[in-house]
């Protein structure tokens, strides 16, 4: 049974490094139904997650993740297609193991995508927003347990968990911002929970991302999260019920638009570092 510790991450890193001779600058992590974002990558290598030592790949058939290395507009990138969720029963140290490996690899920034439900009435299904802050209501944290000092300090700062420079670029691109509340799931929220989330200051709610954001920040990576609003939350639209199928459909329909935003963002990052 892997412990998802430093030595295991080192082994995973060494395996991945066989396939690439450049250090990726940007990592992209695709959420549910958003695997098509890979189309923007000039791929150099495709690695099956299940072949990487200690990599926590999903055991569900057809859901084995892939890792793609290559370039977007000339910038070296690595993309993780498919992620694990807390609600699948994996410990948060497994869910965030890929971020550990990305941090050790020397990646500068991580662009994470996810699906969310809208708490705020000013959002609509199909909207894509940048997350500017989060509220962790998962009742868990990936950093709980003995601290690995080679990875992060005991009490990492989270004041700028969502990198202000990346947010400024996205704002300039016309992308609106919102606060993401993370719940464990997998049941959707009740209407009363949705009203509570609104009172707490959440604009959207989802079941992923926050553990990854915590670990990436703790390792000093710049983080940016693009959230695709799949639905209005429970109780907002009269008589409407929540459906996981609908979430996937909206995600698949939004993947191309999201991919375009990520490509533009990466092009602007390229412009900044030249
Ligand atoms: N709630 C929680 N997570 C979600 C939702 C939702 O309404 N839609 C997509 N992910």
Decide: 207 in ligand 1 pocket, CB within 6 A: yes
Q: How remote is the CA of residue 3 from the centroid of ligand 1, in Å?
A: 30
Pick the atom of ligand 1 nearest to 206's CA: 3
Q: Whose CA is nearest to atom 8 of ligand 1?
A: 117
Q: How remote is the CA of residue 200 from the centroid of ligand 1, in Å?
A: 17
pTM of the predicted model over 0.85: yes
Looking at residue 243, what is its pLDDT?
85
Q: How remote is the CA of residue 58 from the centroid of ligand 1, in Å?
A: 21
How many Å apart are CA 67 and CA 48, to the nearest integer?
A: 6
- Residue 190 DSSP code: P
Looking at residue 55, what is its pLDDT?
93
pLDDT digit string (tens) for the chain, length 274 residues: 889 999 999 999 999 999 988 899 999 998 777 778 888 999 999 999 999 999 997 655 445 589 999 999 999 999 998 888 999 999 999 999 999 999 999 999 999 999 999 999 999 999 999 999 999 999 999 999 999 999 999 999 999 999 999 999 999 999 999 999 999 999 999 999 999 999 999 999 999 999 999 999 999 999 999 999 999 999 898 888 888 888 888 888 888 999 999 999 999 999 876 5
Interacting residues of 93 by C-beta distance below 8 A, sequence separation 6+: 3, 4, 142, 145
Looking at residue 62, what is its pLDDT?
47
How many Å apart are CA 3 and CA 1, to the nearest integer?
A: 7
Q: Please, are residues 88 and 65 in contact by the beta-carbon 8 Å criterion?
A: no
Q: How remote is the CA of residue 115 from the centroid of ligand 1, in Å?
A: 7
Q: How remote is the CA of residue 82 from the centroid of ligand 1, in Å?
A: 17
Decide: 230 in ligand 1 pocket, CB within 6 A: yes
């Amino acid at each position: 049974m892997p412990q998802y510790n430093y030595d295991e991450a080192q082994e995973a890193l060494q395996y991945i490094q066989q396939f690439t001779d450049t250090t990726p600058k940007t990592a992209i992590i695709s959420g549910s139904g958003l695997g098509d974002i890979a189309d923007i990558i000039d791929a150099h290598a495709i690695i099956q997650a299940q072949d990487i030592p200690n990599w926590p790949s999903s055991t569900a058939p057809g859901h084995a993740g892939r890792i793609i290395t290559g370039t977007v507009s000339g910038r070296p990138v690595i993309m993780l297609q498919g992620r694990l969720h807390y609600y699948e029963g994996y410990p948060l140290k497994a869910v965030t193991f890929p971020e550990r490996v990305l941090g050790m690899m020397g990646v500068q920034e991580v662009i994470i995508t996810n699906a969310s439900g809208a708490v705020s009435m000013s959002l609509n299904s199909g909207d894509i927003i940048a997350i500017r802050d989060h509220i962790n209501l998962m009742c868990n944290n990936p950093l709980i347990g003995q601290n690995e000092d080679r990875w992060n300090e005991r009490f990492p700062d989270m004041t700028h968990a969502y990198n202000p420079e990346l947010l400024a670029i996205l704002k300039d691109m016309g992308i609106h911002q919102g606060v993401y509340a993370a719940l464990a799931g997998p049941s959707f929220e009740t209407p009363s929970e949705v009203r509570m989330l609104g009172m707490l200051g959440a604009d959207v709610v989802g079941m992923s991302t926050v553990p990854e954001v915590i670990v990436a920040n703790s390792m000093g990576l710049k983080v940016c999260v693009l959230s695709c609003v799949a639905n209005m939350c429970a109780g907002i639209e009269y008589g409407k019920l929540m459906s996981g199928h609908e979430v996937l459909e909206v995600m698949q329909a939004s993947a191309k638009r999201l991919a375009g935003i990520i490509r533009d963002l990466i092009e602007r990052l390229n412009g900044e570092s030249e």
